[in-house]
Structure 1
Amino acid sequence: MKSVVSYPDRGKWGKNSWRGNTSGYIIKDLIEHFKPSLFVDVCEGSGTSGDVCREMGVEYIGLDLYKGQDFTKDYILSFLPRPADICFSHPPYHSMIRYSGSVWGKCPVEGDTSHCKSVDEFLEKSQVMLLNQREATKDGGIYTTLIGDMRKNGSYRSFQADFIGMMPKNELLNVVIKVQHNMMSNKTHYSGKFIPIVHEYLLIWRKSAKSLFAIAWDTAKEIKRQVASTWRSAIRIALMKLGGQASLQEIYREVENIAQHLISKNRNWRAKIRQQLQYHFRNVQRGVWAM
């Protein structure tokens, strides 16, 4: 397996009629590279992973919402004889393809992340899925997900960046870019400067021995650092616009212009700016700061 993979033919595994079905070759590559004894797929779909595992002689367990297992509520490990060597998922890409009530079943089913009402809801449930996968994986084992980007109503969302950001950094092992073939959008001719999405990401983590509580705590600390970094960046941009040096009142006004998204979430935003100035900037004279 390399950092970029391309499978023009999706292979004989699973069913071509199942929308969004991935190529069995990526499952084959995962097995050949990591050599698992137990492979688990928590979004089995039409059964591609199971077909590959049976052909390669690997013990397999496939779970899916249409089979009655909901990764947003059910503890994956409770369905397994032992922790998995590889725990794989290929979840819906938010609302790009609706599954329950469309690909299968007669009506939408609770727990189907393709029916999330917002991106935030999708990400929250996706993090539950990833932490659930992690808990179902043995220490030193692999948990992995295949996810794409989404463009909708003129807005572009890179879910792989979100997924990486909400899981432990020290467990991320690889990011593999998978070229997409035979997509419905490939038959469309686009005009102007539109760039079609023709790739997905296979995100691969190796589970450490840390407890779920420790992971949650580390993630919370990381998010706190990211927010602090955002404030620091906003102040730096403000100072750049003000010539590299400015009074506190000028900095307040400029940050207020460029960082409304931060200010709206923090009623004590002036105190936050003063804190970041003291930590990361230079006080050249009373009430005047510089980069």
Structure 2
Amino acid sequence: MLVKLIRYLQANGIKKPYIYDPMVGGGTSRDVAEELELPFIVDDIHNGFDVVNDDFHDYGFDLTMLHYPYWRMIDYAADLPKELQYKDMSRMEWREFIEAVSHVNFKAAAHSRYVAVLVGDMAYKGGIKSIQREMSWPGQPVRHIIKVQHNAASFRKQYAGNFIPIVTEHLLLFRTDYKPGGEMWILVPASVRKIDVEKYISWKSAVKHVLKKMDAITPSAVFEAIKRQFPSKLQKTNTPEATIRRTLQELEAEGVIRRKMRGIYEVA
């Protein structure tokens, strides 16, 4: 299915889509991107990554893949160290879970031109829990594919009476509406709402993005690039120059950039 999504993007003018998957699991997204020789970044809770609270690793993706846990059907973090288990979304209460899903959708839309969300519905006594119906949609839906959910729990259960099992899942592809200036329209159940996109893009992600096109990296050059591409970030801090200097120091400590001389850096 990921290959078909990539072909769709390529048919719409994105020849080498930049792929991001923060819930890579078994590694399908990585394998597909490597096979097609596409740029990609992947991560997962099993690497200690908290998709709700941690920074996404870059900005300017063409496609972000999101495959959320099926709430409490599977305990994804059971084999993780205890200090990481609290990051598992499947252990949240339902309303907290849906709010977290919507938050991650917004983060993805703030970082990516397209967002693909793969989710299933879950039966419980008296009804169903439907992630795709209750979550906020992060842009204009361009495809909604209902596919067979392989290895669905319903295949392995015996149901009394005339119960109809749930054996499908939803793949939704959204085109995001982000434009420089920090605002984007998203669809919330029963309403349309404008959100502040740059709330979901950290200073570190923004700075890492603008560094890609710089040979000599200086605080003043980064300031001008942020002013062009993320203007509202400058309006929300009284000390943008100090914030940029601190962010460059953090990126130097992480090995993303290295210092050539005082006040001048280069990509490591």
For the aligned pair, the TM-score class normalised by the smaller chain equals 0.5 to 0.7
Where 2:50 maps in the other structure, the secondary structure is coil
The Cα of 1:202 is off from its aligned counterpart by 0.6
Preserved contact between residue 71 and residue 128 of structure 1 (Cα < 8 Å): no
Of 110, 133, 145, 1:161 maps to 133
Preserved contact between residue 24 and residue 43 of structure 2 (Cα < 8 Å): yes
Counterpart of 1:100 in structure 2: which amino acid?
Answer: A
* CA distance 1:198–1:54, change in 2 (3 Å): same
- For residue 17 of structure 2, what is the aligned residue in structure 1? 37
- Post-superposition Cα deviations, 1:73-114, rounded to whole Å, max 9, x if no partner, equal 1231xx12x41110011010211111112xx31436222111
- For residue 116 of structure 2, what is the aligned residue in structure 1? 144
Structure 1 gaps of 5+ residues are 1-25, 225-291
Quick check: 1:185 aligned with 2:171? no
TM-score, length basis structure 2: 0.63
Counterpart of 1:90 in structure 2: which amino acid?
Answer: H
Aligned partners of 2:144 and 2:73: how far apart in 1?
22
Quick check: 1:121 aligned with 2:96? yes
Preserved contact between residue 71 and residue 132 of structure 1 (Cα < 8 Å): no
- 4+ aligned runs moved over 6 Å, structure 1: none
Where 2:122 maps in the other structure, the secondary structure is strand
Where 1:174 maps in the other structure, the secondary structure is strand
* CA distance 1:221–1:197, change in 2 (3 Å): closer
Where 2:160 maps in the other structure, the secondary structure is coil
Structure 2 gaps of 5+ residues are 11-15, 194-268
* CA distance 1:220–1:176, change in 2 (3 Å): closer
* CA distance 1:220–1:145, change in 2 (3 Å): closer
CA RMSD of aligned residues (A): 2.4
Preserved contact between residue 147 and residue 169 of structure 2 (Cα < 8 Å): yes
Counterpart of 2:69 in structure 1: which amino acid?
Answer: P
Where 1:208 maps in the other structure, the secondary structure is coil
Where 1:95 maps in the other structure, the secondary structure is helix
* CA distance 1:94–1:220, change in 2 (3 Å): closer
- For residue 247 of structure 1, what is the aligned residue in structure 2? none
Counterpart of 2:101 in structure 1: which amino acid?
Answer: S
Aligned partners of 1:200 and 1:121: how far apart in 2?
21
TM-score, length basis structure 1: 0.58
Aligned partners of 2:121 and 2:188: how far apart in 1?
23
Aligned length: 186
- Post-superposition Cα deviations, 1:12-35, rounded to whole Å, max 9, x if no partner, equal xxxxxxxxxxxxxx1122122213
Where 1:100 maps in the other structure, the secondary structure is coil
Where 1:215 maps in the other structure, the secondary structure is strand
Aligned partners of 2:69 and 2:163: how far apart in 1?
24
Of 99, 112, 134, 2:76 maps to 99
- For residue 201 of structure 1, what is the aligned residue in structure 2? 170
* CA distance 1:196–1:62, change in 2 (3 Å): same
Aligned partners of 2:190 and 2:155: how far apart in 1?
42
Quick check: 1:73 aligned with 2:53? yes
Counterpart of 2:115 in structure 1: which amino acid?
Answer: Y
- For residue 85 of structure 1, what is the aligned residue in structure 2? 62
* CA distance 1:124–1:161, change in 2 (3 Å): same
- For residue 215 of structure 1, what is the aligned residue in structure 2? 185
The Cα of 1:134 is off from its aligned counterpart by 0.8
Preserved contact between residue 37 and residue 58 of structure 1 (Cα < 8 Å): yes
Aligned partners of 1:196 and 1:135: how far apart in 2?
36
Percent of matched pairs sharing the same residue:
29
Preserved contact between residue 134 and residue 143 of structure 1 (Cα < 8 Å): yes
Bigger CA drift: 188-197 or 90-99? 188-197
- For residue 172 of structure 1, what is the aligned residue in structure 2? 141
Where 2:72 maps in the other structure, the secondary structure is coil
Counterpart of 2:63 in structure 1: which amino acid?
Answer: I
